[in-house]
Copies of this chain bind each other. A is one copy, B any other.
Amino acid sequence: MKSVGVNGYGTIGKRVADAVSCQDDMKIVGVTKRTPDFEAQMAVQNGYPLYISAPEREGLFEEAGISVKGTINDLHDMVDIMVDCTPEGIGAQNMEVYKEKGIKGIFQGGEKQEAIGHSFNSFTNFKDAWGADYVRVVSCNTTGLCRTLKPIDDLCGIKKVRAVMVRRGADPGQVKKGPINAIVPNPPTVPSHHGPDVQTVMYDLNIITMALLVPTTLMHQHNLMVELESVPSIDEVIDTLEATPRVMLFEANRGAGSTAEIMEYAREMGRPRSDLFEIAVWKESINVDEGELFYMQAIHQESDVVPENVDCIRAMLEMEEDPDKSITKTNKAMGIVG
């Protein structure tokens, strides 16, 4: 039973804590918070030992009546690995501390590849993280691209990918971000960073991406145009994606014609936080034209990377050599389809 810490019990951190807790080969020994907000309170209510990530702020937690087990320095001594879910850029700073303390660290997609040195996706390069000390799980969008592009590449070989990423402007709980009524090229330059980010885990893929922000909070949406080495039938692609773990096909004509309806479906699944860990592909959108595959998919930005974090722990702590076995084990424990 490996001991896992979560540094930053926020959007990703709280989900990773829950996902680790339902595995039988690892456990959460502590989570950290910097601010005594309702998430800190709920970490305690949920039975997670809570540690303060900024020791000098202990007074704030006392004032808020939230009892803590200690500071992050105490937690450092207890973990086999720390899953760092702190905001973008903080993880890279924390890595220096983990190095000093001699503990392994997993970082999220907000950190730069160059800062961490190695990136991870369960399906594309699990084995390359074997025994590694510091690994970055790629972002929600990159994870979404890998989940469907890898099986397609295996099926018929990819010559070139073009993708337009229509991104949610903010998460549901973020009230200070926009846009409210605009489409924002983000970046306004081409290519966006998503293509190179995919290449950190699918090393030889030829991919170019464009990205924008739109006024929605529910999911990202991707439009894929994939030139292929050999041309499959539409049914072969459907069968392949249906057989791929962590991918679900949805039908617009069965009431799942938008990101809102897909998340409504997820709410009916009864999972914590109504999460959809799977990548949602619109079945009707799958088409092959002039040797090129087209499809549309949606990504639940708050949750899709969570099972990848669990698999990454197994690879880095040398707990399971076979990626498929780890994926299956993680999925079964989390109730993930496929």
Contact = CB atoms under 8 A, between A and B. Distances in A.
B188 A284 contact: yes
Contact of A181 (B164, B216, B285): B216
A305 interface: no
Contacts of A214: 166, 183, 214-216
A260 interface: yes
B179 A258 contact: yes
B285 A190 contact: yes
B217 A181 contact: yes
Instruction: Count identical subunits in the complex.
Output: 2
Contacts of A182: 216, 218, 258-261
A64 interface: no
Given A166-B214, A215-B215, A216-B214, A185 B258 contact: yes
A38 B179 CA distance: 31
A106 to B, nearest CB: 30
Given A164-B164, A190-B295, A190-B296, A185 B221 contact: yes
Given A188-B282, A189-B287, A208-B294, A183 B257 contact: no
A323 interface: no
Nearest to A215: B215
Given A289-B208, A294-B208, A166 B183 contact: yes
Interface in A209-264: 210, 212, 214-219, 221, 223, 225, 252-253, 257-261
A334 interface: no
A68 interface: no
Given A223-B210, A258-B183, A289 B215 contact: no
Nearest to A185: B296
Contacts of A184: 257-259
Contacts of A295: 190
A257 B187 CA distance: 9
A85 interface: no
Contacts of A221: 183, 185, 212
A219 to B, nearest CB: 7
A182 B252 CA distance: 13
A69 interface: no
A173 to B, nearest CB: 13
A162 interface: yes
A114 to B, nearest CB: 22
20 contacts: A164-B223, A168-B183, A182-B218, A182-B261, A183-B214, A183-B219, A183-B258, A184-B259, A185-B257, A185-B282, A188-B253, A189-B287, A190-B289, A190-B296, A191-B294, A208-B294, A210-B294, A210-B296, A214-B215, A215-B215
A-B pairs with lowest CB-CB distance, top 6: A182-B260, A188-B252, A190-B294, A164-B164, A184-B258, A214-B214
